[in-house]
Structure 1
């Protein structure tokens, strides 16, 4: 069987491990031929693919990024897209199935193709861990580890100068990275898109810590909406797919904390450093298992499904469940973390 792989949407650590797992499973278990479409769905529309022999994926699990490249191309709406165009490319290349590795937007496109009868399966990918239908996505553990290391470093410099430190991490609609890294580093306040927190409350937490002789550490997700604003801070234009380019809430909070409390405050924006570098061991294992399970799913003809985790087991769920809505931080997890703020 000839199987095509693609990586779509934002990059994250673990993509290459999925590719390696799929290639090895396909070749060693089923005798498949695997190819990789370049730059996500754009490569499918353009018919640009490379062969993926075993030698090409040797040692790949430890490498960050994706050897196939990625994009946010919509397979239906983008120029040259559509069901008929994709069918024609697959026929010309002899590709009998597609494994789409992506997040909500990428899998929504995959669902439309599958609903139209194309042989497509999915692998969930998002560092934000906000995709429904799966307990965990690869890349999340790496992002949390990177953020935690940065927060630990910010704490030492903050303590040295007795300053308040504000760290902005990724999280457009869901605050999982902020919550996990903040709890891991012992942050004194964590601000996430799912919860509104007033500046008065934030400054109370900061003062409580400062007055005990400690240096307050505040973690904020980029999608947090500050008091007095109706939307996220996105004064940096739009991304290629039209979404607001986030960034700036950390600097805003820094200025407000210093203005309202008189405490010297500094900001650090972690940005895309969270996406880069080698994946953690957890993400390498999870991504490898996802890649292997996706090939098994192809051979079972499970079109319109993606692999997912339930606890420690790999399961299969319909695309409809995966794109039914974002998996956000539930109230009880926020309440659990909040009990530690300001202490």
Structure 2
């Protein structure tokens, strides 16, 4: 601990709510407890690639507004793998040594990286190659990072999706419509599952549970027979169509992105059931806004724990939330484990028990039950 004087912190990958709260906690713990200097690195590894490196030195007075601030004041990026970095002429170049050199030019003794599985895999490779003392904090709105029950940003994303469902209830009932809410979830359905239960969805579709349009239409028809004139559905963006293919959109740069499953479902459900359908795609709204109290608390606990790991010399580890406590796990273990929704998860069983349909079972129609 006596050898540590200067630490860096960066945010990498997609932004989310709670990142600034983590930066605030790191700064308070490092300066207030250990009397270290804290440097925020701008634009993730791009800031270390720049000459001179781009950074902000934090003082305690700089942290006041960070707790409730969304996004990341340091900036971030989820483009440009430094081991195969795209150059203007179209070629790929290994720029990892430039990043490593930037770390050492700043005379840093340790680095805290806040990221998801992809970002942390890259940061760990850089650390192993360049002798960087790395500690990690997990963040992802998808909550699919292994070895932690919760990641920074997930709770806020669920809150936003739940609020959207709350609002859609009224317009759905007013117009007798099937309202479909498409939420994020690159490979996992955690946001859709949690928001669907909290927001009173009738149907939840997630990539971990196969569905059929016929089963979904039967569920809508059952609601109608029981006297309901509307239905609410939430679907994760990574849900496939009935042929098993991801629904994607390609932009003018040729980049393929998930998106469009909501409209696909609206069209097919309308054809199958005759119901009037409307789609709301939340997209990046789920990443923005003021972090929820839970995300602020989680980020604060993670930030303090990450600094303490540095003080203990426990590098190459990630802080993790487990059984109402913060523990640490090897980064390699954390990124090797992918956390999808277990089809027998307690929340899936809860949803089924309160009548929510996942589209994987035929619904028994019974007009007498109202």
Normalising by structure 2, report the TM-score: 0.88
Does the Cα contact within 8 Å between 1:193 and 1:225 map onto a contact in 2? yes
Displacement of 1:87: 3.1
Displacement of 1:169: 0.5
> Hey, what does 1:211 align to over in structure 2?
225
Tell me, what secondary structure is at the counterpart of 1:323? helix
- 2:152, 2:100 → 1: CA distance? 30
> Hey, what does 2:83 align to over in structure 1?
76
> Hey, what does 2:288 align to over in structure 1?
276
Displacement of 1:83: 4.8
1:328 to 336, 340, 358: 340
Does the Cα contact within 8 Å between 1:12 and 1:65 map onto a contact in 2? yes
Does the Cα contact within 8 Å between 1:111 and 1:319 map onto a contact in 2? yes
2:215 to 176, 201, 225: 201
2:330 to 300, 306, 318: 318
Deviations along 1:92-117, one digit per CA (max 9) or x if unpaired, are 21111110000001110122123333
- 2:321, 2:68 → 1: CA distance? 21
- 1:81, 1:62 → 2: CA distance? 37
> Hey, what does 1:221 align to over in structure 2?
236
Does the Cα contact within 8 Å between 1:238 and 1:245 map onto a contact in 2? no
- 1:232, 1:83 → 2: CA distance? 33
**Structure 1: stretches of 5+ with no match in the other structure:** none
- 1:94 and 2:107 are equivalent in the alignment: yes
2:314 to 269, 282, 302: 302
> Hey, what does 2:126 align to over in structure 1?
113
The aligned length equals: 340
- 2:252, 2:62 → 1: CA distance? 36
**Structure 2: stretches of 5+ with no match in the other structure:** 87-92, 358-362, 364-370
- 1:149 and 2:163 are equivalent in the alignment: yes
- 1:83, 1:75 → 2: CA distance? 5
Does the Cα contact within 8 Å between 1:14 and 1:287 map onto a contact in 2? yes
Cα distance change of structure 1 residues 239 and 94 upon mapping to structure 2, 3 Å threshold:
farther
> Hey, what does 1:8 align to over in structure 2?
12
Rg larger for:
2
Does the Cα contact within 8 Å between 1:236 and 1:247 map onto a contact in 2? no
Within 5 Å, give how 1:39-54 maps onto structure 2. Answer: 39-46=43-50, 47-54=53-60
- 2:37, 2:306 → 1: CA distance? 15
Cα distance change of structure 1 residues 291 and 111 upon mapping to structure 2, 3 Å threshold:
same
Does the Cα contact within 8 Å between 1:175 and 1:328 map onto a contact in 2? yes
Cα distance change of structure 1 residues 74 and 238 upon mapping to structure 2, 3 Å threshold:
farther
- 2:342, 2:251 → 1: CA distance? 30
Cα distance change of structure 1 residues 75 and 292 upon mapping to structure 2, 3 Å threshold:
farther
Does the Cα contact within 8 Å between 1:110 and 1:122 map onto a contact in 2? no
Does the Cα contact within 8 Å between 2:240 and 2:246 map onto a contact in 1? yes
> Hey, what does 1:163 align to over in structure 2?
177
> Hey, what does 2:90 align to over in structure 1?
none
